[in-house]
């Protein structure tokens, strides 16, 4: 048995806005000693290790059972700390950090030699972000090193947005969980790369393409999302963020999607299944007469920030329920809809509607 499946996992509750200096010093010491610490960020919970320690980074992959070809994001505390992880940051990269950092934006940059190669899956680049969550920032400062941190869940499974979610997947595999309450955005950071005068969105996330576009200078444009390649970014595998139970995704405009979702649920119920469904408020009336049906409530389609913050929690709740299979429909694609639909698409075992 791997030693990373045989650890005693401690849980320490910390105040979100004013984490205890003693608790953070303890967590920082765990990181420096090569240990693994799960911690809240403004997106989801991360699983942190010293990004300069190759053995520690390998232990992240082991604990998560993560594919070694899927790179990690390195978290630093400030723009000044970029020198620790990259030898070169373009003017556009610096502009994006100045506009969106600290916050949920990750930029792919050339990797500096001290960063452990497994962080980048052997590529010459490194994905870097500066988190805004007080606990995450305090941990980086206490550790005194850049922290490589993917989401704190088993590989390809639904991301963790609470300490309880972390323990569901990683209890006995990591050293410490800093319980700072629920993560804020509930969906991962946006990942971009920069090539000349083009910013490519590799992974849609908590910062929208529209927000990035408004921050770019004249002559710099947003490129089409990269597909079919990891391209130095995590979260780009075709299958990712998935619940254990099979998820069917209905992809169609709202009214058509609502009707198609109701038909799929009716078919499942007629076949003797107990479906679980991720329900938008606008769907409630259409689905009200269906039984048995287990609902995971996401909130209104008109508030995609709320939907994003609830997505993984609702998915995990349904996965633990008596539902035999899961269903969801897509949301309008603008703004945060791009990230929500991306996660649903990668989580789905079956998709109905246009690819």
**Over the stretch 214-259, which tens digit does the pLDDT of each residue have?**
999 999 999 875 554 445 666 555 556 889 999 999 999 888 999 9
Structure tokens at 185: 């955005």
| pLDDT at 355 > cutoff 50 | yes
- Each residue of 170-188: b (16+ CB within 10 Å) or e? beebbbbbbbbebbbbbbb
d(CA 5, CA 212): 40
| 138: preceding bond cis by omega (within 30 degrees) | no
Mean pLDDT of 299-322: 96
Categorize the per-residue pLDDT at 1 as very low, low, confident or very high, splitting at 50, 70 and 90.
very low
pLDDT value, residue 229: 45
Name beta bridge partners: 98: none
| pLDDT at 122 > cutoff 90 | no
| pTM flag (> 0.85) | yes
The CATH code that applies to domain 247-352 is 3.40.50.11030
Mean pLDDT of 301-326: 96
Name beta bridge partners: 50: 147
Mean pLDDT of 111-124: 95
pLDDT value, residue 5: 59
pLDDT value, residue 254: 87
**For all residues of the chain together, what is the average pLDDT?**
93
Structure tokens at 85: 């992880």
pLDDT value, residue 241: 81
Between residues 231 and 328, the one the model is more confident about: 328
Q: Report the DSSP pairing between strands 325-329 and 247-250.
A: parallel
Domain edges within the chain: 3-184, 247-352
Mean pLDDT of 265-280: 97
CATH class of 3-184: alpha beta
User: Could you tell me which of 326, 319, 339, 329 has the C-alpha nearest to residue 158?
Assistant: 319
Categorize the per-residue pLDDT at 279 as very low, low, confident or very high, splitting at 50, 70 and 90.
very high
């Amino acid at each position: 048995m791997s030693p990373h499946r045989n650890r005693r996992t401690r849980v320490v509750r910390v105040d979100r806005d004013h984490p205890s200096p003693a608790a953070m010093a303890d967590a920082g010491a765990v990181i420096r000693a090569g240990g693994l610490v799960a911690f809240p960020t403004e997106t989801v919970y991360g699983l942190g290790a010293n990004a300069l320690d190759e053995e520690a980074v390998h232990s992240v992959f082991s604990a998560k059972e993560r594919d070694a070809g899927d790179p990690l994001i390195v978290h630093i505390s400030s723009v000044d700390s970029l020198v620790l992880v990259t030898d070169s940051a373009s003017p556009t990269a610096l502009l994006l950090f100045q506009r969106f950092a600290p916050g949920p934006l990750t930029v792919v940059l050339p990797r500096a030699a001290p960063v452990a190669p497994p962080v980048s899956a052997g590529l010459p680049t490194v994905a870097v972000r500066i988190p805004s969550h007080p606990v995450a920032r305090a941990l980086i400062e206490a550790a005194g090193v850049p922290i490589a941190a993917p989401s704190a869940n088993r590989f390809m499974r639904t991301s963790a947005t609470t300490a309880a979610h972390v323990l569901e997947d990683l209890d006995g595999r990591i050293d410490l969980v800093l319980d700072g309450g629920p993560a804020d955005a509930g969906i991962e950071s946006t990942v971009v790369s920069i090539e000349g005068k083009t910013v490519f969105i590799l992974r849609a996330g908590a910062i929208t393409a529209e927000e990035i576009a408004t921050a770019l200078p004249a002559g710099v444009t947003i490129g089409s999302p990269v597909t079919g390649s990891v391209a130095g970014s995590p979260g780009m595998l075709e299958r990712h963020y998935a619940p254990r139970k099979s998820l069917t995704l209905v992809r169609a405009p709202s009214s058509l999607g609502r009707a198609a979702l109701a038909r799929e649920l009716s078919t499942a119920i007629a076949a003797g299944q107990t479906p679980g469904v991720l329900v938008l408020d606008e769907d409630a009336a259409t689905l009200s007469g269906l039984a048995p049906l287990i609902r995971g409530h996401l909130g209104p389609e008109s508030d995609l920030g709320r939907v994003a913050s609830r997505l993984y929690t609702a998915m995990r709740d349904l996965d633990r329920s008596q539902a035999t299979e899961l269903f969801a429909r897509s949301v309008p694609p603008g703004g945060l809809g791009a990230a929500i639909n991306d996660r649903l698409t990668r989580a789905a075992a079956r998709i109905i509607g246009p690819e």
